[in-house]
Amino acid sequence: MRRYLILVFTALLCVLLAAVSLGQSGRKQKKADPLPPVQGVNQPELRTQPEPEVEVEKEKKKEGPRRALMVMTEMPDIGISSFYPDMARRGCLDEIRDNLKGVILSESTNQTRSDAHKTAKDGDDQHVVWMQFEVDRMTQSSRGGFELRYTIFEPKTGKVLGSGFGYPQQPQSRVPLPPIGSNRPEILADWAGRDVAQQVMRRLGWLQ
């Protein structure tokens, strides 16, 4: 009987020890306290701080003022071909395109001087060049029988910035004039328009 009691007691003790062991294993282990910092040595901050974002600044190219130009022509006088204003206007625009980049160009036909003045005054940054053909009875044989006048109007104010004549000068890169009786007058009108373009670009300071 005594032996039986000893066996029972031993079994209960084993069960109790096993339960205690399982209970301890389920507990969270307490973290050890951090060691005190060593004196005289810079310690990193324990708090995590986000790194500042590095912004890459792009250098902005210094852009010059916006350049815009409208070329207008008036209906020609009697005795002047209706093709002359078109040739001169297109020659003026082509000459500017050949020499400058980034200029906003536009054109208009059959416009009066007052129309050109109003267009410039109503615009914010668009200069207006107005051209008109007149019969030249003095030197018809050498200059195509016409005079090409031009006027430059300032944007916003409509102020006249310059005026003059376009001369049909042969550009160095152009082919020689065809014989008289062909399309010679149209080519002279084109050259006169190109001469106006050269004068306008210099007056506006666009051509160095």
Q: pLDDT per residue over 158-168, tens digit each?
A: 999 999 999 98
Positions in the chain short of pLDDT 70: 1-9, 11-65, 139-143, 172-182
- What are the beta bridge partners of residue 128? 70, 153
pLDDT score at 138: 73
pLDDT score at 121: 96
pLDDT score at 106: 97
pLDDT score at 129: 98
pLDDT score at 78: 85
**Cα(48)–Cα(46) distance, rounded to whole angstroms?**
6
* CA separation, residue 78 to residues 105, 119, 185 (Å): 29, 26, 16
pLDDT score at 144: 75
Domain annotation for the chain: domains and CATH numbers? 68-203 (3.40.50)
- Amino acid letter for position 27: R
pLDDT score at 56: 39
**Cα(114)–Cα(122) distance, rounded to whole angstroms?**
12
To 10 degrees, the CA torsion angle through 131, 137, 140, 143? -30
* CA separation, residue 17 to residues 9, 23, 61 (Å): 12, 10, 82
Sign of CA dihedral 37, 42, 44, 46: positive
pLDDT score at 173: 61
Q: In the numeric block, which tokens belong to residue 4?
A: 């039986």
| pTM of the shown model | 0.66
pLDDT score at 74: 97
Is-contact 86 123, C-beta < 8 A?
A: no
Q: pLDDT per residue over 134-172, tens digit each?
A: 988 776 555 678 999 999 999 999 999 999 999 988 776
pLDDT score at 116: 98
pLDDT score at 3: 62
pLDDT score at 136: 83
